[in-house]
Amino acid sequence: MTMDTTTNGLGEKDGKISLEVLAKMTGFPIEMIKEEIFQGKETQEEVSLDELRSAMLSYIDSTMLTQDEEK
């Protein structure tokens, strides 16, 4: 059995992940991911893991700050 080094079976290829695969893994629609995580910025159908991490950290920071302000 050989392993394809360009993909890990989760849609991750060369350090990128497909938004379609991410949507299936999380159960969230692609449009919601684009609007919420990437804050409506124009994104391609595949994003690098670094872009995803950065967008996720930004989203977490913004939602945590919003929750703190509401208290």
pTM, two decimal places: 0.67
Cα–Cα dist 48/57, whole Å: 14
Statement: residue 25 has pLDDT above 90: yes
Q: Express each pLDDT in 30-60 by its tens digit.
A: 999 999 999 888 888 999 999 999 999 999 9
Q: What is the DSSP letter of 39?
A: T
Cβ neighbours of residue 58 closer than 8 Å, sequence gap 6 or more: 39
Banded pLDDT at 21 (limits 50, 70, 90): very high
